[in-house]
Chains A and B, each alone.
Chain A
Amino acid sequence: MDLETVMERAGPREFGPGDDLPEKYRKAATRMIQFHANSEVMGGYLDKTFTRKAPSLDRKLANTAKVQDEIGHAQLLYRAAETLGVKTRAEMLDELATGDGKFLNCFHYPVDSWYEAPMIDFFVDGGAMRRQATLKSTSWTPYAHAMDKVCFEEGFHVKHGESILRELMNGSKATQERMQETFDVWWPRILQFFGPTNDESVHDDFAQAVGLKTATNDELRTSFLNMYIPKAEKYGLEIPEYPRLYERDDGTMAVREDDLDWEEFWTISRNEYEGSKEQIGSRRRRQDAVEWVRESLETWESSAGPTPQTAD
């Protein structure tokens, strides 16, 4: 299939492993799904910090369940990416360890307090879920199938995250103040989650033209703000004055770009932020620690019985 045909046919769940697709499509889809899968891993690793911080057994259990879900999402997504034939799962996991693999900006900031839990579990997961719901109609079918299962599970994450926020904002005055301080720190990062305004985004046009992406960052940011600002305010959080938000003529919401720290954002996107190194490093050390498990699985697989080896 040539690119022109791909663009012509582009639509929800239009292409799958049986189609002969141009390299440009397969590479773009791989980049996108690998980024998504990496983010599930790094989000899961970040989130596991909260299990220790959680104030009750129920919260600890819910948190471990969430971490388990996220790692499961990563597994689904690496499989969906692998079906494009560009990279293997092992290659993608190695790239994440060497610092070549990219992932969401919010997961480059190490966390160390329970107050940060609703930042990740409610706002970031909420934003991610907005995006993931639109990816149910991506053109790469295995990706869409992964989104069906991911979206099924995510409702629990977002509601649990909101429940933590609610609990903390019903706490003492001091607790509420700490929550507000944490929110002030995280709010600009959460706004950057949707990237810079459309015209600056490098890969968007192609991804949209071939149906990989079905919503623009602008649309996602707008709907996110319309849904989540009222939630924050409902619990008594104040939206910081800066970065300033405004409505464009077409009704979409935007952020004054100058009010955000784009240098930090681009440093993060190159994995060169201090937190990036810390997060990537701690995950790599954990991956190394269980090398023996992978090795014994491989030894077992290559010595296994009569079934021929069919990885795919």
Chain B
Amino acid sequence: MIWEVFRQEEPGDSHEHVGNVHAPDREMATLFARIQHARRMQTNSLWVTPRDEIGEVTAEEAAFGGRTDKSYRWAMTYNDIDASFAEEVADSESKQREAARKRREALREEETDA
């Protein structure tokens, strides 16, 4: 049976997928996960879950955010407004800008592939 492994680095972080292990039951899965994924890496907690329990949808089946022009829902669109007056607004904007950039890159790659 395949178990997917999620590692949390520091307390308070999100658990992130790091790989999977072969194991006959949950207990063995946690043991193998410890050995394979937490031996050298800084780890606060590990999750294991049977692969079959994970639902997946991929970019091939679904149009994830960013295909139609939804610029109205991005902070950067309102560029006559200066976000720097409040740290949290500026922070949100820079994260949104980064997300939009990645999205554009992915779309461009898709186009050149096609």
Contacts and interface: CB of A to CB of B under 8 A. Distances in A.
B81 A61 contact: no
B92 A151 contact: yes
A156 B74 contact: yes
Interface residues of B, number: 28
Contacts of A133: 87-88, 91
Given A13-B12, A62-B72, A162-B78, A151 B83 contact: no
B72 A14 contact: no
Given A13-B11, A152-B96, A166-B81, A159 B72 contact: no
B73 A155 contact: no
B86 interface: yes
A233 to B, nearest CB: 12
Given A12-B12, A130-B86, A130-B88, A156 B73 contact: yes
Interface size class of A (residues with CB under 8 A): 20 to 34
A166 B80 contact: yes
Nearest to A13: B12
A166 B78 CA distance: 11
Interface in A138-165: 141, 144-145, 151-156, 158-160, 162-163
Main secondary structure, interface of B, reads: helix
Interface in A249-265: none
Given A61-B72, A129-B88, A156 B12 contact: no
A65 B73 contact: yes
A154 B92 contact: yes
B102 interface: no
A155 B93 contact: yes
Contacts of B86: 126, 129-130, 158, 227
A192 B83 CA distance: 24
Contacts of B23: none
B78 A129 contact: no
22 contacts: A12-B12, A13-B12, A13-B13, A14-B11, A62-B72, A65-B73, A126-B89, A144-B12, A145-B14, A152-B96, A152-B99, A154-B89, A154-B92, A155-B83, A155-B92, A155-B95, A159-B75, A160-B78, A162-B78, A163-B81, A230-B85, A307-B53
Interface of B: 11-14, 45, 53, 70, 72-75, 77-78, 80-81, 83, 85-93, 95-96, 99
